[in-house]
Each structure stands twice: as structure tokens, then as C-alpha cells.
Amino acid sequence: MAEALNFHFIVDGEDFTSAGQASVQVKKNLRQLGLPSEIIRRVSIAMYEGEINMVIHAGGGTADVNVTEDYVEILLKDNGPGIKDVEQAMQEGFSTATDSIRSLGFGAGMGLPNMKRYTDFMKIDSVLGKGTDITMRVNIE
């Protein structure tokens, strides 16, 4: 794998029930590249949590995945409301999800903590009223 590989996705903010399609596609692509299953699992979960957050909290956005020799990088961008207090949002159990979202099984307040746990690097840039950019990396040993 000499050159970096890039995958780009538009994440639809309307589509609640079938949300997660970009992550499912990335899992498939990484499998075809022959990456170790534990790396694929960590990337898949971290990306899915981020993708779902964009759908539920930000009305959709874009996802870019770059695969290099050393790591898999996930870039998520949305033009949603932004996160008021990132430190608070990172706490396990903190959630602003509505009851209807909770009835789908989301809203445990575990998404951002999972993204942190399953990645080797995570950075959140969020501006209130503008949107949120998240960068995550999972190293390939």
C-alpha cells in the first residue's frame, strides 16, 4: 500500500433508521484491504458513533476516511448546532437525545466516550451555531 486511499461519504441527516451506511461501507472496504479484524472493529465502531451523532444531533454531514500505511484516519464534518461544552459531552452518560431517539436505543451518552476509547487519537473542533469537526485515528501496528 504505497499511496493513501481515500473514501468520501455524504451522511444523510433525514434518514434515522438506516443510519450507519457509510460505516458499514468502510468496514467492507477495510476488509478488502486485508486489515486486521481488531483494527477494523475499532474503526467501524468509532466511525459509526460519529456518523450516528451527525444524523441525530447535527442533521447530517460528511465523512472522509484516509487509509495510510500507519493509520486509518476518520474526518467527520457537520454544520449542526455545535457542542456547547465538549468536556461535558465527553462524559459517559451525558446526552441531550430526545425520548424518540432513546426509543431507538440511542442516547446512552456513550458515543463520544466510545470514539475516544477505540481510537489512538481524537480531536473535536466545535463552534456553537456553526458545526463540529472531529478527527480520529486508529494506528495500524
| Residue 59, binding choice from other proteins, Mg ion, ligand ATP, none, Cβ under 5 to 8 Å by partner class | none
| Residue 94, binding choice from other proteins, ligand ATP, Mg ion, none, Cβ under 5 to 8 Å by partner class | ligand ATP
Q: 9, 4, 16: which is closest to 105 by C-alpha?
A: 16
CB atoms within 10 A of CB 104: 13
Per CB under 8 A, 94 contacts other proteins? no
Per CB under 5 A, 111 contacts Mg ion? yes
Q: Measure the CA–CA gap between 59 and 82, rounded to whole angstroms.
A: 11
Per CB under 8 A, 111 contacts other proteins? yes
Backbone angles phi, psi at 108, to 5 degrees: -80, -10
Sequence-ordered list of residues with C-beta below 8 angstroms from that of 38, at least 6 positions apart, any chain: none
Per CB under 8 A, 37 contacts other proteins? yes
Q: Measure the CA–CA gap between 77 and 113, rounded to whole angstroms.
A: 18
Figure out which of the listed residues 45, 65, 67, 122 binds other proteins, where binding follows CB under 8 A.
Answer: 45
Instruction: Name the segment binding other proteins (CB under 8 A); options: 5-13, 79-87, 110-118, 133-141.
Output: 110-118
Residues that bind Mg ion (CB under 5 A): 53, 111
